Amino acid sequence: MRVAIVGCGTMGTVHTRNLARMPDVQAAGVCDQDAERAAAAAAIAGTAAYTELDELLDKERPEAVIVCLPTYLHKETVIRIAERGIHVICEKPAASTLEDARDMEAACRKHGVRLFIGHVVRFFPNYRNAAEHVKAGAIGKVRMGHFKRHGSFPRGWDLWYHDRERSGGVIMDLMIHDIDFARSVFGEVESVYARITPPSVSKLEYAQVTLKFAGGAAANLTAFWGYNGPFTTQFEIAGDDGIIRFDSNQVQSFDLKTSAETGEQAAVQVPQSPMLRDPYYDEVQHFIQCIRTGTEPLVTIDDACKAVEIALAAERSAKLGQPVALEVAPR
């Protein structure tokens, strides 16, 4: 399958590197408005660099495109690709409004192409392992969860992460990972209560969100942009018959320290653990497999829309200072 990438920032580069070594997949051009960045990514995958998406689509004829642009560009770009009859894999969050996410879905359906949203935490082996234990009944009925995702303030092109209008903010961009994962473990969200630091506080965004789930369970999620320590993820899932815990700072299977440490931080931190394949590889390979076989992905467009809806409800709750109820579809 011929796969192109649009947006050669942090995520675009990760995906380019993975495409270059994925069997039966061929990198079919990379695109970035910054010619230098496009050229650097193209060199990794041995493909051509473009600064115009339409030119890439015309010349490379990809069967799928991975969209790694800032969130506020997702809708327009995804629809443009769908209109050409090309499948789309889009970075999370799907969009910063539910309407936009639904429009993207409708456009893809109309043009007969698949749309996948990269909620990559579903593909992280640690989270997957936990989900499998829960599913196997290892901890009984799940009742209470804690999810934490703390890292430095990401530095995207034009500081788009710093603009809540364009990135959606720390809940929409960062916590949404845990919102989606928590929902996959605990079920449908009934109500949301949230608190977030005010925009007047510069250089950091921190949020606390409590999700109550239908059927008697809850989780508290925190997300933090501006943490001074290493990128940290933690979770605890407490059931009535056991507890599952994970702390990214306690799972170092490999630790190299040299005198030449520069201490320079990445623009956007991407959690890493020594593995043969990273979760982004597994994610894209899974989506490509779904295109080939026509099967449903592990994380669907409905899941992605639900995550956006919950994140927006959290924003609303934080504004109102009141819990916000969500409609739970009858089973």
Residues that bind other proteins in the complex, under the rule CB under 8 A: 139, 143-144, 146, 193, 195, 197, 201, 204, 206, 208, 210, 212, 216-218, 220, 222, 224, 227-229, 238-243, 321-323
Residue 51, helix vs strand vs coil: coil
Query: Other CB atoms closer than 10 Å to residue 291's CB: what's the count?
Result: 18
Q: Which is nearer to other proteins, 26 or 220 (CB)?
A: 220
- Among candidate residues 113, 19, 18, 30, the one with its CA nearest the CA of residue 67: 30
| Smallest separation, CB 133 to other proteins (Å) | 13
Least distance (Å) between residue 297 CB and other proteins: 32
Amino acid at 296: E
Rank residues 125 and 229 by Cβ distance to other proteins and give the closer one.
Answer: 229
Please give the full DSSP string across 257-268, using - where no structure is assigned: --TT---PPPSS
Q: Which is nearer to other proteins, 88 or 209 (CB)?
A: 209
Among candidates 30, 26, 10, which has minimal Cα distance to 231? 10
- Minimum CB separation from other proteins for residue 45, in Å? 39
User: CA dist 21 to 15, 17, 72, 215, 251, Å?
Assistant: 10, 7, 30, 44, 27
Q: Which amino acid is at 308?
A: V
Least separation in angstroms between CB 58 and other proteins: 49
Question: Which ranges in 227-300 belong to alpha helices (H)?
Answer: 279-293
Closest contact distance (angstroms) between CB of 38 and other proteins is 38
Closest contact distance (angstroms) between CB of 113 and other proteins is 42
Cβ distance to other proteins smaller for residue 85 or 216: 216
∠ CA(205), CA(299), CA(293), 5° rounding?
Answer: 150
Contact residues for 112 (Cβ-Cβ < 8 A; gap 6+):
85
Question: Please, which residue, 242 or 271, has the CB nearer to other proteins?
Answer: 242
Residue (100 or 205) nearer to other proteins, CB: 205
In whole angstroms, the minimum distance from the beta carbon of 119 to other proteins comes to 24
CB closer to other proteins out of 228 and 253: 228
Contacts of 199 (CB under 8 A, 6+ apart): 164
Are 117 and 92 contacting, i.e. CB atoms less than 8 angstroms apart?
yes
Shortest distance in whole angstroms from residue 192 CB to other proteins: 11
Q: What angle do CA 309, 314, 317 make, to 5 degrees?
A: 125
Task: Tell me the backbone φ, ψ of residue 281, rounded to 5 degrees.
Answer: -65, -50
Instruction: Pick between residue 113 and residue 211 the one whose CB is nearest to other proteins.
Output: 211
User: In 187-327, which residue ranges form alpha helices assigned H by DSSP?
Assistant: 279-293, 301-320
Smallest distance, other proteins to C-beta of residue 309, A: 20
Between 267 and 325, whose beta carbon lies closer to other proteins? 325
Q: Which amino acid, residue 270?
A: V
**How far from 205 is each of 88, 288, 314, CA to CA, in Å?**
30, 35, 14
